[in-house]
Structure 1
């Protein structure tokens, strides 16, 4: 099937260049996109700019109702979106896969509809009136990645339009199909031009990030690309929300119960096959329970099936693209050559798909690329430690800080230690849990700005202070 590469002011546009979207489970095609070009990108920005004034002036209750209707539409077409998501991204239909992602997208949309930031009064009496109003920014460019293409699209689109902005979204060239289908479906709930999409090469992203008619850029992706987005946006001083790379650490204290925490550790690391920014990517375990934790993880992993996402019993799928697949292969091979022990997995699965088995790597050490670099795949380095202060220092000794976790039976102590982690979100006895009512964002090179809840909504509004 061939998909329109642009959706502009409610109309589907088919570019002249066809691009095949790979199915990572088969090596075949998930579909074709008639990709957008620079001219289409300009038209999309123009359509969003034209629609902005009326949408910003739309009564708040009507915008709230439109976002709620968007949630209804996602639910009505949930299976279509899930099947398409599995075909292009590879994640399984079940478990924490495509149906989970679609359900989360609907739930996040519905919660976003309930958000509001009313006028705040600093002083309002006979002497002085000082009120803080909020106003939408204008056109928002949303640039989304390939790991959670539907969910992250929702995270960027919904607060933007709830706040009264208009949007041009550019999905990853690896996974454009579900986003394009989503934008097409949502036209029913939104006036023409409020939500537009362009799918095509990375050069379209550069147009969006530098364009004078774009007021804000939301970008989720690597730190390296985030730096380029910042540089491109600087001349026009755009607002930015950047959710960039992470290399999250989890620290298991000696009083933890290996059997009790194994499931949480496993899914903290391997949700979406490890292709999640806030997944657990470095596991520090105290020497006294190191072998027991390793054994518990190996036992749990043995019951988790990796296979094609269309198999109803698959719990993990392939890596999404060849570049990421080769990176995981290289990092595991280098760790093995440097003295690490492979407890399970460790070699690509034969066949046409980009399958790599669950891989647990013992005796990993800082200095190994698998530890120091974000692997973004199904390979977890497990690092032995004896002093918790040294473990926290090692956890913090990276230039990123998205998430981190402490695992212990002493909750009070775990909370104190978690607050020592240099990250935007710290968890106790869990990792990666996020909610639509709780802000989420990174520190250091993991980006800036937050998403979700009232704090996230505020990122799409400017303050206007009135004195009289």
Structure 2
């Protein structure tokens, strides 16, 4: 929710106002961009200094984690336990890039006519555009490698999480030199102005595929490189050799983590036809133990969806599936609570022609598709537009063999959602391009230059 001059944060559990943030004016954005451009000249010079400060940022973030977690829960909706976990992995991300080593320069292959060096240099000012589902971690996955590489950063958060992102930026600003990290607030117009600003040399965006396409078009106006981490309709494939009870229990928790609002959460399961009943029985048993409620309340394991649009979208998919004959457990709107609450839902009796299977739900609904031939499943998945994540469950060698055939940025075997800051992360096809995490994450914020000397 917003006005022309303010962003209004609403608690999705209570529908009460959490606070307001002033929209950044064009003049303020320009001043911040110029300051970031100026700060880049000194910030880029010493990697050891940068990494020492990033380590200090990691420590300070954890020191203030209790207050940050409470604000994150109030503004985003997730449980306090999940908010604390997000702050922890964000601090770990900073710590990782504070100690990561990489080569700034290498010698080119020998030549009798020249001596050449290949250099990897920071780009300059980076625009980091952050979504609402994991606003702290997804910001940190951008700014930690960008800052470590020697760039300066301007963050633009989703409007609905401006308070908590702003607070984290202020904490880091208390440690970093002036101008190295700053934040701009606003809606699409602010984002467009940031992307197209002459000082910005790189855009890193996490969000929907539709918005990612628009950002590519905007960045093309200034030939600005982009990293896009976009939507994913991530499948879990269970083989005949899978431990059905273990996989079903794990996937139930994984699918509904953060109320299902996670790009790499499992969004559907492909299960051998003769094992669907067993899978669903275990999944439903685990689902029945989940406690839906205000994320700030003790014992809550599943919070509200973040906004009314997301709630209506998920309920619309469930309504259509039900009208088409699907068997649905749960999925009812919870009207005894004031916020955007619904029951987790398991959906049976659907196939790949069903909207709830074809489209990313990004919420508390999980469809199960029966299959008889795993090669057909893999072929179908590889023909679809998304390719962010996937998982394969079964005897290790057989599962790895299937995993090797799947077109996705990351494929897990006998687990899912196993994010590690040490490993590169990103998608293929309509799920985006570029990588965050690990050394690849640093290189995404560097450009290559060759210095060649004639002999």
Q: TM-score range by the shorter chain?
A: over 0.9
Are 1:332 and 1:346, in contact at CA under 8 Å, matched by a contact in 2?
no
Secondary structure of the 1:176 match is helix
Structure 2 alignment gaps of length 5 or more: none
Deviations 1:12-50 (A, max 9, x none): xxx992332010000111211122222222222111112
Q: What SS does structure 1 have at the residue aligned with 2:367?
A: strand
Give the counterpart of 1:439 among 408, 421, 424. 424
1:79 maps to which of 52, 59, 66:
66
- For 2:128, the equivalent position in structure 1 comes to 142
- Conservation of the 8 A alpha-carbon contact between 2:131 and 2:206: yes
Match of 2:15 in 1: 27
Match of 1:8 in 2: none
2:40 equivalent to 1:49: no
Q: Is the 8 A contact 1:174 1:321 kept in 2?
A: no
- Structure 1 residue 125: Cα displacement: 9.7
- Find out whether 1:173 has 2:159 as its counterpart: yes
Matched, 1:61 2:48: yes
Equivalent position of 1:9 in the other structure? none
1:259 Cα deviation from its structure 2 partner:
1.5
Indicate the SS of the match to 2:418: coil
Offset at 1:232? 0.2
Structure 1, unpaired ranges of 5+ = 6-14
**Paired residues of 2:129 and 2:205 also in contact (CA < 8 A):** yes
Corresponding residue for 2:321?
335
Is the counterpart of residue 121 in structure 1 residue 113 in structure 2? no
Question: 3-state DSSP class of the match of 1:175?
Answer: helix
Q: In 2, are the aligned partners of 1:407 and 1:428 still within 8 Å (CA)?
A: yes
Asked if residue 313 in structure 1 is aligned to residue 313 in structure 2, the reply is no
- Do the aligned residues in 2 keep the contact of 1:219 with 1:226 (CA within 8 Å)? yes
Output the CA distance in 2 between the equivalents of 1:37 and 1:333: 42
* C-alpha distance in 1 between matches for 2:266 and 2:430: 17
Whether 1:293 and 2:279 are equivalent positions in the alignment is: yes
Pair 1:235 & 2:221 matched: yes
Residues 125 and 70 (structure 1), Cα distance of their counterparts in 2 relative to 1, 3 Å cut? farther
Which string of whole-angstrom CA distances, capped at 9 and with x for unpartnered residues, describes residues 246-283 of structure 1? 10111111221222222221133112111011111121
Aligned length: 451
CA distance in 2, matches of 1:318, 1:226: 26
Residues 401, 444 of structure 1: 8 Å contact kept: yes
Cα distance, 1:16–1:253 mapped onto 2, change above 3 Å:
closer
Q: CA deviation at 1:315?
A: 1.1
Looking at structure 1, the residues matched to 93 and 358 of structure 2 have their Cα atoms a distance apart, in angstroms, of 33
Q: TM-score, normalised by structure 1?
A: 0.93
In 1, distance between residues paired with 2:386 and 2:27?
Answer: 36
Distance apart, 1:208 and its partner CA? 1.3
TM-score calculated relative to the size of structure 2: 0.96
- Which residue pairs with 1:358 in the alignment? 344
Question: 1: distance between equivalents of 2:190 and 2:393?
Answer: 43
Residues 95-135 of structure 1, C-alpha deviations (whole Å, 9 max, x = no match):
xx100000110011100111232222234799864322111
Task: State how far apart, in whole Å, the 1-side matches of 2:100 and 2:259 are.
Answer: 32
RMSD in angstroms over aligned alpha carbons? 1.7
Residue in 1 that maps onto 2:256: 270
Distance 2:335 2:89 in 1: 30
- Alignment of 1:464 onto 2:443: no
